[in-house]
Structure 1
Amino acid sequence: MHRPQRLVSNQRKHLLTATWEGVPAVIYQTLLGGPFLTGYLLYLGAESREVGFVLAVTTFFNILQILTAYLIQRLQYRKKAMIVFTILNRLMWGATGVIPFVFDKQWWLPAFLVMYMGAFIAGTVSGMLWTSIISDIVPSKVRGRYFGIRNTILNALGAVVLFVGGMILDRYPGGTGFLILFILAWIAIAVNLSLFFLYPDPPFEHSKEREFWPMVKKPLADQPFIKSTLFLGGWLFLQTLVVPLYSYAMLDVLHVSYAVVSIMTVAQTAIMMMGFYVWGNLNARFSNRRLLFWTLPIIALSCLSWGLLSLLPVIPVLLLSHMLLGAGVGGFNQLAFNFMIGDTPKGDRPMFIAMYSAITGLASFLGPMIGGQVFKFMEGTPDWIQQYGFQAFVGMVMLLTAFTLGRKILRDII
């Protein structure tokens, strides 16, 4: 007897679409970001201050999300606007790869900054819209587990791409290696953009507020939300003083190879991958805020562990630091995302997301900017200060902050 083929629900199709869209996205983001972005900036002639600025400026644009959250209330559907701004983001970021071929060398870095900032202004808008749509697609009861599995899959792929990219740059140093990376990234961008057309376009539940300031005041008046957000903003300021500059410290201070940097990032990603699954399952039992608290000391220990360079060889210390970072930051990012889309009222969710992104984005902008300046200032100091002193000091401050202010705010608000 013939049995009818089991119908796949629209909801399941939408979850699969979101997962598959992430595959080419993580490929191009890995090839154009992380240690490869730092390496490309150094190739273009950047110093620590410029590296810190580039790593920070994308988060600064999160402030624009407040205006975006207000404007999208005029939309009944969000997909078309998401696709337009996604295309702008991908094309401008990918186009930074042609800079050495179309500009004189003295214009390489300025051209990169203009194109990169333009890409992430568009990316701020598209990211806001994507987050709004994905929060409607993924049911709240499976949200923690779904994002845990999705992030595990995508980070496994990211680890492979990191390893391959590092081998390419070691075998083809300089412009040739980066050209190969950009060609692969351009292919991934083309595939990624095509998959965005498969996203659903669910009706948009609008806020009851119609004016800008009353809409902005909603998240500001929510005491548990704003207290947690302000604390997490302060935490990200401390974290981004050093963590985004790990690659710079390894490449330009410790003088390790791209292959070693890639291996460290792969180890970080492997631990992050396992952590996504663990944090996702724990999220079914414990609140986002409580679990966020337990990620903080792990991240602090990642920074503090750089102090072991005074006793141990470079490779084991860097490996330990990156493994701790993977366990902590992976959980932090996943839980913070669930906090934004799960602990907020649906109709006002875009403004809550925007407020969180603006506050934490400003903090994450200032952190690498100041961190880059500190690394520049440390150039004349003893080697131990340049290699691990600053990282270890910030790690100690973070650990104390986690077990004092962090414990009070994130553990007391359940």
Structure 2
Amino acid sequence: MTQIPKPVKRTLLISYFEGAAVAIHNSYTIGLYPVAFALLLGASDFQIGILGAFSFLATLFGFLSAYIVESTGQRKQTTVWTGFLSRSIWALAPLIPLLAADPARKAWAFVFLVGVSLAANAMSGNAWLAWFTDLVPAEIRGRYFGQRSGILSAVGIAGTIGAGLFLDSYKKAGSELLGYAVLFALAFLLAVASLILSFLQYEGRRPAAKGFRKAGAALLLPLKNKSYRVFLIYFVVWALVNGLSSPFWGAHMFKNLGMTYTQVSFYTAVAGVCVFFSHILWGWIIDRVGARAVLRFCSVGAILTPLLWPFADRTNLIPIWIDAALSGVVWPGINLAALYLLMENRGESGDSSVAMYSFATGTAAFLTSLLGSWLAVALSRLHFKGYGLLINNFTTLFIATAFLRLIVQIFMPGFAEQKRGRARAVPREVIAFLWIAVLTSREKLLWVVGRMRGHEHS
């Protein structure tokens, strides 16, 4: 086994703490809480749609980050400073309610702030991945990233629940805006902590700068690969479909279902726990039957989840909890399958294929998010409640998304990959995985009991 240099060991350890600071920060500033804050400022349905669309527009800046890194070789500097911009800008959020402006302009100011933060975050994330992929030794890369992701997921879930309980306490006291001000101030302190810890990390060998002209040619190289083009076209269409309703799930929870911050945080936690365990399940099954089989199987679940939402209302949130669990199971399978297929079809283009994938799918989802925002406004007067259903502008978009996902799934193409199993084999593999997990757990439990009895008689 290769001896890991001390600077690398120290950096890998520091990265856990730096990542924890970022995970807590993101639990406050990415996802459902910014949507709730925008609604508190008086944001319209169209502004909520634009807020959600910016999360996809931000991926285009990941493409810009890849271009800068390819051109200059400055991976650490790009990671650190774009990351700090992304996180420190939230110090301005508490000032927005104090502006001498009407609610619409305050909401637009917040939407702009979120857009800048997400764009810088995408740039930082792409540069960080390129930096650490080379820094972490190959023999421990999978284990390190797996452990780090698991720990940071747990930290993020704890941060989400803590923020929900915290905001609900301020809301009950009639000081909801003050609660957000404290939360965003804490986010700024976490940004400073992340900056300091980032500078303590070892950069490693810096890649040679290619110059701006060669970098541009390198980023377009993946499109010459036919199998990559097939892969890319499918996931661009998939992104077009999902972008239509993506901005409105959180808004529907707060605005139409009347969910509290604590309830929304537990929704995120339920999904997060399912995501954590599902990654292990789908990774094992993909190795046995291939990514396309898992993608097709999990896509069925993704078709069903939007159809649960019209059955939920303020007195019945059971469909939402079912959605949290089901989404937490199927979406890791879809995302992991997409990652595997990307790795299988990227050829020799390396990082450029990842950047092109992010750019193309982000652009597609952004465009349909804009369309969804317009439709949400056009359907704003639609309201029907009866027969256990709640039909309004948001749930109509959810139903349309389910129908479009079905069409895309029916016409799923074949992908180039080493293992080509069928989707009908996936349930059998799920049962096999669970059976192995039960037997393994039983053996470990018996071993622990045996050790305890041995100590009692010693």
Distance across 2 between alignment mates of 1:325 and 1:254: 19
Deviates more, 1:14-23 or 1:251-260: 14-23
Q: What is the correspondence of 1:333-412 to structure 2 with a 5 Å cutoff?
A: 333-337=335-339, 344=346, 348-383=349-384, 384-386=390-392, 388-402=395-409, 404-406=410-412, 408-409=414-415
- Residues in 2 aligned to 1:20 and 1:167: alpha-carbon distance in whole angstroms: 24
404-413 or 92-101: bigger deviation: 404-413
Q: Does 1:322 align with 2:324?
A: yes
Partner of 1:78: 75
Separation in 1, partners of 2:132, 2:4: 22
Cα displacement (A) at 1:193:
1.9
What amino acid maps onto 1:358 in structure 2? F
Structure 2 vs 1, CA of residues 407 and 223 (structure 1 numbering), >3 Å: closer, same or farther? closer
Q: Residue 296 and residue 21 in structure 1: after superposition, are their counterparts in 2 closer, same or farther (change >3 A)?
A: farther
State which drifts further: 21-30 or 321-330.
321-330
After superposition, the Cα gap between the structure-2 partners of 1:252 and 1:176, relative to the gap in structure 1 and judged at 3 Å, is same
Secondary structure of 1:380's aligned partner: coil
- Percentage identity across aligned positions? 23
Q: CA deviation at 1:45?
A: 1.6
**2:336 and 2:198 mapped to 1: Cα distance?**
22
1:84–1:19 distance in 2 versus 1, CA, 3 Å? same
Count matched residues. Answer: 406
The worse-fitting range, judged by mean Cα deviation, of 76-85 and 220-229 is 76-85
Deviates more, 1:172-181 or 1:204-213: 204-213
**Mapping of residues 253-268 of structure 1, within 5 Å:** 253-268=256-271
Distance 2:333 2:193 in 1: 28
- Residue of structure 2 aligned with 1:178, choices 180, 183, 198: 180
> What are the Cα deviations for residues 373-394 of structure 1, in whole angstroms up to 9, with x where unaligned?
3333332223232164432342
Q: 1:55 deviation in Å?
A: 1.4
Q: CA deviation at 1:187?
A: 2.3
Query: Which of 186, 189, 192 matches 1:190?
Result: 192
Cα gap change, 1:271 to 1:102, in 2 (>3 Å): same
Question: What is the CA deviation profile of residues 194-253 of structure 1, one whole-angstrom value per residue up to 9, with x for unaligned ones?
Answer: 222215333326779953563243111112222212211221222232244211111112
CA contact (8 A) 1:87 1:193 kept: yes
Give, in whole Å, the separation in 2 of the partners of 1:8 and 1:30.
33
Q: Identify the match of residue 253 of structure 2 among 237, 250, 255.
A: 250
Show the counterpart of 1:91. 88
Q: CA deviation at 1:41?
A: 0.6
Deviation, 1:71, is: 3.6
Any stretches of 5+ residues in structure 2 without a counterpart?
385-389, 421-458
Counterpart of 1:408 in 2: which secondary structure? coil
Distance across 2 between alignment mates of 1:14 and 1:266: 29
Give the Cα–Cα distance (whole angstroms) in 1 for the partners of residues 11 and 285 of structure 2. 24
Instruction: Return the alpha-carbon distance in structure 2 between the equivalents of residues 351 and 62 of structure 1.
Output: 14
Written as runs of structure 1 = structure 2, the 5 A alignment for 1:115-194 is: 115-138=113-136, 146-173=144-171, 174-194=176-196
Q: How far apart are the structure 2 equivalents of 1:38 and 1:308?
A: 22
Deviates more, 1:252-261 or 1:35-44: 252-261
1:3 alignment partner in structure 2: none
Quick check: 147-156 or 287-296, which moved more?
287-296
- 1:276-308 CA-to-partner distances (Å, cap 9, x unmatched) read 333344455565555444442232222132244
Larger Rg over CA atoms: 2
- Larger RCO of the pair (alpha carbons < 8 Å, separation 6+): 1
Distance in 2 between residues matched to 1:69 and 1:12, nearest whole Å: 26
Q: How far apart are the structure 2 equivalents of 1:412 and 1:378?
A: 46
Report if the CA contact (8 A) 1:303-1:395 is conserved: yes
SS of structure 1 residue aligned to 2:391: helix
Alpha-carbon deviations, 1:111-168, whole Å to 9, x = none?
A: 2233333333333332221222233234567655544433332222222222221122
Contact 2:71 2:210 in 1 (8 A): no
TM-score, normalising length from structure 2? Answer: 0.77
Q: d(CA) in 2 for partners of 1:205 and 1:272?
A: 38
How far apart are the structure 1 equivalents of 2:331 and 2:368? 16
- The Cα of 1:182 is off from its aligned counterpart by 1.1
Instruction: Note the C-alpha offset of 1:343.
Output: 5.7
The root-mean-square deviation of aligned C-alpha atoms, in Å, is 3.3
* Residues 299/20 of structure 1: CA separation in 2 closer, same or farther (3 Å cut): farther
Paired residues of 1:242 and 1:303 also in contact (CA < 8 A): no
Q: Report the Cα distance in structure 1 between the residues aligned to 2:33 and 2:268, rounded to whole angstroms.
A: 11
> Cα offset for 1:33?
2.0
Contact 1:44 1:108 in 2 (8 A): yes
Query: Using the alignment, how far apart are the partners of 1:69 and 1:395 within structure 2?
Result: 33
Equivalence for 2:424: none
Q: Note if 1:31 corresponds to 2:32.
A: no
Asked if the contact 1:301/1:399 (under 8 Å) is kept, the reply is: no
Corresponding letter in the other structure for 1:320 = I
**Distance change >3 Å, CA 395–CA 45, structure 1 → 2:** same
